Amino acid sequence: MTEAKLEAWLEETRSFPPSAAFAKQANAQPSIYAEADADSVAWWRTQADRLVWHKEPTKTLEWDIPFAKWFSDGELNASVNCVDRHVDAGKGDKVAFHWVADAEGESRTITYADLQKLVAQASHALTELGVKKGDRVAVYMPMIPEAVVAMLAIVRLGAVHSVVFGGFSADALSSRILDSDCQFVVTADGAFRRGTAAPLKPAVDEALKSCPNVKAVLVVKRTGGDVEWTQGRDHWWHEIVAKQKTEHTPEYFPAEHTMFIMYTSGTTAKPKGIFHTTAGYLTQVATTHYYIFDVKAETDVCWTAADIGWITGHSYIVYGPLINGVTQIMYEGLPDSGGKDRWWKIIEQYKATILYTAPTTIRTLMKWGEEFPKSHDLSSLRLLGTVGEPINPEAWIWYRENIGAGKCPIVDTWWQTETGAIMATPLPGITATKPGAAMRAFPGISIDVVDNEGNSVGDGEGGYLVITKPWPSMTRGIYGDPERFKETYWSRFAGKYFAGDGAKRDDDGDIWLLGRVDDVMNISGHRLSTTEVEHALVGHPSVAEAAVVGASDDLTGQAIVAFVTLKLSADEQMKDQAPIIEELRVHVSKVISPIARPRQIILTPELPKTRSGKIMRRLLRDVAENRQLGDVTTLMDPTVVNMISGLMGSDDSE
C-alpha cells in the first residue's frame, strides 16, 4: 500500500472487523467481557483453575493498596505447572520446543518429557551447588534451551531467578547481582550472533570481581571458546548437570512465594528490581496467552520472537505457553543470521501458526523488502501479535498484508515488566482492530485514561493510562524498596496504578498508547532511562555535564540523542570531535549495553537551564527532532538554545 493510499484508507475505514470464520472457533467468545465484569475477582479465581494446585486456594484477593495478595493460601510449584503436568497427562511426547540455532541446519527438538528430565537434572545440580529456597540466582544466557531449563529448575527449588539480558555489560550485570544479592550465576561461555561467537563468560568474570557473595557459577558450553576458570567457583553444565538423576521430587510453595526479579529502567539512574510472585503471575500469563493468542494446544506452533532476558520472554516463551502445553519455536539468532529471509524460512519449515514480535523488528523486516517473505510459504500463520512500543499504522498494515496474507488478526498488546502479563489488547475473533491501537482492557482488567487531576477523560481525549483495580500478575513491588514502589506507581493518582504512558480514547472509546510521559525512553522496544545514560556519560573522565533525550526514529521508535559538555577548554573542544564522540559512544555501550549507544552526541559548551538550574530537556527534545522551539522565557540564557540548534548538524550520526 502506498503512503497516500494508506492515509486515504485510514481516513475512510479505520478498522478491520473480526473474521466470521475466526470468530466461530475462537477461544474467547463475546460474552467473556460481561462474564469478567460481573465479578472480576471471581472470574480470576475461575481462571486460576488453569493451574495444577498442590493445595487449592480458598482465598482469592486481599488488597491493601498498593500491596495485593492473590490466592494466598494456595500451594503449587511453577515448574510442575509448566512441565510435569503435561507428562503426567500422557503428553510427554509432544514437542515443547523446536530450538533453532543461529547457524542454519543446527536445531534441537525438545519434548515435554525431555524438558522434564533436563529440569530434574538441573534442579539436582543447583541443589548440589547449594541453591536453596529463597536464594537469588542470576541467569545471563543466550537464547538456548538451557536458559529455559535453568529458569524452570530455579523456580522448581523455590529459588528466585533474576535473568539479565545477555546484551548487558559487566557493570550492568554486577549492579543487578549486588542489588538482589544473588549468590549464584548461570551463564554460557558465549553466544552466536550471525555466525560469530561472542563471549559471555568474561563479562561474568569481570562483574564478579565486585560481587564477593557469589558462591558458584554454572557455565553452559555453547561456543567452545577459551574461558578463564575460577576453580571451586565455576562449574561446567555438561559435567555437573548431565550426571544427575532424571527424576526430581518437587516441593510446593505458597502462592505468594517470590518467583523472579526482572530489572527494568525507571526514571532514575538505578534500574528497579521488579519482582513477581507465583500463582497470580502464572494465572494471568496462562489466561492471556490462551485467549489473546487463541492457542489450541494440539495444533498450534507459537513463536514469540523475543529474548528470555526480557519480560516478554518470561511470560510468553517460558511460563504462559508452557502452562498451556503448546509447541513453540525458540530461535537463537538475529533476524538476518544466514540471510534476510531467515525468519520466513523458520516459519515455513516449522509451520508456525502464531508470531509475536516488536514493532521495531517489523519495521526492519519491512525495510528489507517484501521479496523476502514472498519467497516462502507463510500460509500456516493464523494470528500475529506486537508488543513493546506503539506500532505505526504503516508497519501494522505491512505486517497484516505481507506476513498475515490479509487474513490474520493482529493483537497489539500493551503491558509492562511491572504488569507481568498483557493488560490491553484486542481479542481475536471479537474486536474490530485499528492499526496502532491496543483497543481495550483484557477481561478482568480495569484500565482508564485520566487527566492531570485523575479524572477520566471523555472519548476523543488524551491523558495518562492508569489501572484502577488490582490484577493477578501485578508486580508485588521493587525488590528491597517498598517506599520507591509506592512513590513511583501509586502516588501520582490516589489508589490508581500510574503506568507512565500517555494514552487517548478515540471517538469510539478505544485506547491508543502514545508513548512514555516520563524520562523513560523506548529504544527498539527496550526501556532505558535518560538519567541512566546521563549517569554513564558523566562517569567518563572528560565529561562535565550531559543531557539525554529520546528523539523519534523511523526504525527504532526512539533513538538516544545526548548533549554533552566536556571538561576540556573551549579551544580543545573545537578540535576534531569525532574521536571523543566515538569514545563516548563506546563508553556508554560498555557501561550499560550496546542498546544504549547514543545515535547522536552533540558537544556543546553549555546546556540550556532554567533560572533554578534545571536542564530543559523539553527544549533539547525539540532541538533533537528539529521542531519549532517552544517557550524559552524561563531559560537562564536563551542564546544557548540557538547555539545548540546550530551544532546539531555537526555530528555525523550513525
Query: What x-and-dash track marks residues 433-462 binding ligand PRX by CB under 6 A?
Result: -----x------------------------
Nearer to ligand PRX, 154 or 311 (CB): 311
CB 48 within 8 A of CB 281: no
**399 is a site residue for ligand PRX (CB under 6 A):** no
Nearer to ligand PRX, 158 or 500 (CB): 500
**556 is a site residue for ligand PRX (CB under 6 A):** no
Cα–Cα nearest to 44, from 410, 442, 357:
442
Residue 560, strand partner residues: 550
Cα 114 from Cα 405, distance rounded (Å): 35
Nearer to ligand PRX, 388 or 477 (CB): 388
Nearer to ligand PRX, 499 or 548 (CB): 499
CB 558 within 8 A of CB 363: no
**415 is a site residue for ligand PRX (CB under 6 A):** yes
Strand arrangement, sheet containing 160-163: 234-236, 216-220, 184-188, 136-140, 160-163, 258-264, 272-277, 477-478
Among 75, 179, 307, 389, binds ligand PRX (CB under 6 A): 389
Q: What part of residues 2-41 is at the interface with ligand PRX (CB under 6 A)?
A: none
User: CB of residue 176 vs ligand PRX: minimum separation in angstroms?
Assistant: 15
User: CB of residue 29 vs ligand PRX: minimum separation in angstroms?
Assistant: 24
Distant-in-sequence, close-in-space partners of 166: CB < 8 Å, separation ≥ 6: 140, 141, 142, 191, 200, 307, 309
Among 414, 464, 479, 485, binds ligand PRX (CB under 6 A): 414
Nearer to ligand PRX, 250 or 443 (CB): 443
Q: What part of residues 272-311 is at the interface with ligand PRX (CB under 6 A)?
A: 311
**264 is a site residue for ligand PRX (CB under 6 A):** yes
Cα 211 from Cα 178, distance rounded (Å): 6
CB 584 within 8 A of CB 564: yes
Among 387, 397, 467, 623, binds ligand PRX (CB under 6 A): 387
User: CB of residue 415 vs ligand PRX: minimum separation in angstroms?
Assistant: 5
Cα 330 from Cα 100, distance rounded (Å): 6
Nearer to ligand PRX, 71 or 485 (CB): 485
User: CB of residue 414 vs ligand PRX: minimum separation in angstroms?
Assistant: 4
**513 is a site residue for ligand PRX (CB under 6 A):** yes
Among 390, 409, 426, 598, binds ligand PRX (CB under 6 A): 390
Nearer to ligand PRX, 505 or 587 (CB): 505
Cα–Cα nearest to 203, from 218, 183, 222, 189:
189
Among 284, 416, 530, 558, binds ligand PRX (CB under 6 A): 416
Cα–Cα nearest to 152, from 278, 292, 331:
278
List the Cα angle 116/120/125 in 5-degree steps: 150
Query: What x-and-dash track marks residues 118-157 binding ligand PRX by CB under 6 A?
Result: ----------------------------------------
| Chain centroid, CA 269 distance in Å | 19
User: CB of residue 278 vs ligand PRX: minimum separation in angstroms?
Assistant: 20
Cα 83 from Cα 645, distance rounded (Å): 57
Strands (E), 367-489: 383-387, 410-413, 447-450, 462-467, 477-478
CB 596 within 8 A of CB 532: yes
Cα 487 from Cα 497, distance rounded (Å): 11
Nearer to ligand PRX, 287 or 604 (CB): 287
User: CB of residue 345 vs ligand PRX: minimum separation in angstroms?
Assistant: 26
Nearer to ligand PRX, 412 or 448 (CB): 412
Cα 270 from Cα 590, distance rounded (Å): 16
Name the one range near ligand PRX by CB under 6 A: 64-72, 243-251, 415-423, 540-548: 415-423
Nearer to ligand PRX, 350 or 442 (CB): 442
Residue 505 parent element (H or E): strand 497-505
CA distances from 635 to 583, 608, 640 (A): 31, 7, 9
**117 is a site residue for ligand PRX (CB under 6 A):** no
Query: What x-and-dash track marks residues 478-507 binding ligand PRX by CB under 6 A?
Result: ---------------------xxx------
Nearer to ligand PRX, 124 or 527 (CB): 527
Q: Site for ligand PRX (CB under 6 A): how many residues?
A: 21
**516 is a site residue for ligand PRX (CB under 6 A):** yes
Nearer to ligand PRX, 6 or 517 (CB): 517
> Rg for the chain (alpha carbons), in Å?
25
CA distances from 313 to 41, 224, 305, 320, 519 (A): 27, 26, 8, 10, 25
What cell does 595 get?
Answer: 542498546
Q: What part of residues 307-336 is at the interface with ligand PRX (CB under 6 A)?
A: 311-312
Cα 420 from Cα 283, distance rounded (Å): 11
Cα 650 from Cα 29, distance rounded (Å): 57
Cα 235 from Cα 188, distance rounded (Å): 11
Cis before 66? omega within 30: yes
CA distances from 324 to 86, 355, 455 (A): 9, 16, 39
**412 is a site residue for ligand PRX (CB under 6 A):** yes
Residue type, 509: G
User: CB of residue 389 vs ligand PRX: minimum separation in angstroms?
Assistant: 5
Among 45, 476, 527, 609, binds ligand PRX (CB under 6 A): 527
Number of H helices, E strands in the chain: 24, 30
User: CB of residue 12 vs ligand PRX: minimum separation in angstroms?
Assistant: 24
Nearer to ligand PRX, 508 or 518 (CB): 518
What cell does 134 get?
Answer: 529463597
User: CB of residue 385 vs ligand PRX: minimum separation in angstroms?
Assistant: 9
Name the one range near ligand PRX by CB under 6 A: 64-72, 110-118, 409-417, 572-580: 409-417
Nearer to ligand PRX, 305 or 499 (CB): 499
Q: Which stretches of the chain bind ligand PRX, using CB under 6 A?
A: 264, 311-312, 387-390, 412-417, 438, 499-501, 513, 516, 522, 527
